[in-house]
Amino acid sequence: MDMTSSVLAHGDCMRVSGLLARIGDRWTLPVIVTLHDGPLRFNQVRRAVSGISQQMLTRTLRTLERDGMVERTVHPTVPPQVEYALTPLGRSLAAEGLRLGNWVRDHIAEIDEHRGAFDRRQEG
């Protein structure tokens, strides 16, 4: 049984689709991949993820924490330091994101060629 049939058979299509949409949003994978090499403080993540606002990073980290992919640790210093780290679930997502990124990098030239050929056919 293929994955589509399996998902539809379980009635989880909307849940799967919603989670895939969130994982594929503009910020989730960049944040996850940034944390792949180890824990970072908030501003370190913000500097590493180009273009993300403080509000969007806060929202993304909170959602990832809620989903069990990121762990937030408050260190009892003055002022308190907060670190974010991937959980095992988050590390597994980071590995898949990196794998998908490598696939894109390996095939981007071929995809560009197909797009160009398609566009030329549409113009002619």
Higher pLDDT, 3 or 65: 65
Given a cut of 80, is residue 23 above it in pLDDT? yes
> By C-alpha distance, which of 122, 120, 67 is closest to 89?
67
For residues 124 and 122, give the distance between their C-alpha atoms in angstroms, rounded to a whole number: 6
Distance CA 61, CA 28 (A): 8
Tell whether the model's pLDDT for residue 4 goes beyond 60: no
Read off the pLDDT of each residue in 104-119 and give the average, rounded to a whole number.
97
Q: Cα 32 to the chain's mean position, in Å?
A: 5
Q: How confident is the model at residue 11 (pLDDT cuts 50, 70, 90)?
A: low
pLDDT at residue number 92: 97
pLDDT at 1 (0 to 100): 46
3-class secondary structure for the chain?
CCHHHHHHHCCCHHHHHHHHHHHCCCCHHHHHHHHHHCCEEHHHHHHHCCCCCHHHHHHHHHHHHHCCCEEEEEECCCCCEEEEEECHHHHHHHHHHHHHHHHHHHHHHHHHHHHHHHHHHHHC
Contact between 83 and 75 under an 8 Å Cβ cutoff? The reply is yes
